[in-house]
Structure 1
Amino acid sequence: MSKKEINDPVVKVLSILAKNKIYGPLDMLSRVEDRDEFYMKMAREALYSALRYVSTEKKNFEGLEEAIESVLRLIEARPYFAKELALKALAQAMSSGKETSGS
């Protein structure tokens, strides 16, 4: 499985937030600058908030647990990856039309 495929569930979760105009977790991810514990904590909190929000939709996101673990490792290794995630999710939300929840 490629890095893109592994991260797809996380991008999908984040794009659901963007579609619903919940930008807080994406904004937090876009602010991660380096490996300082402050930024790593911000990234973990952003992902937690995103998961917490979509958990109310009672949808199954196959591979999400593995994807979150992978994303956290990637952010720790390359902090700007957090900003890339936020950008991909926002772009996906904007290109998927007027839909308001994940498909």
Structure 2
Amino acid sequence: MTDDEHLPHGHRRGRDPQQKRRPQQRKQVLLRLDPAVHDAIARWAEAELRSTNAQIEFLLRRALADTGRLPKSAGPMPRRGRPPRSSAEEAGSEQPQDPQRD
């Protein structure tokens, strides 16, 4: 029996350096909070136009950065919501024109 035989199908110890790296998935965590703390975070998140989850991640990242513990490998906060307008859209007309009116 090899060392890898007890691992799930397709899993092996170590990595082939030629193998492409898959994007890292986000971790899901069950978090138990005092209801008053949750309500305060939810109100704060609403005031900053974030979800409660995004606010908690923002606060955790800020605490890690402030104490010098944010890993350099940590990616940026994921952008949420509508993507920013492109410069081509901004250069065009403000209102879409109705093709039937021409």
Q: Taking structure 1 as the reference length, what is the TM-score of the superposition?
A: 0.28
Structure (1/2) with the larger helix percentage: 1
Question: Which structure has the greater CA radius of gyration?
Answer: 2
Q: Taking structure 2 as the reference length, what is the TM-score of the superposition?
A: 0.28
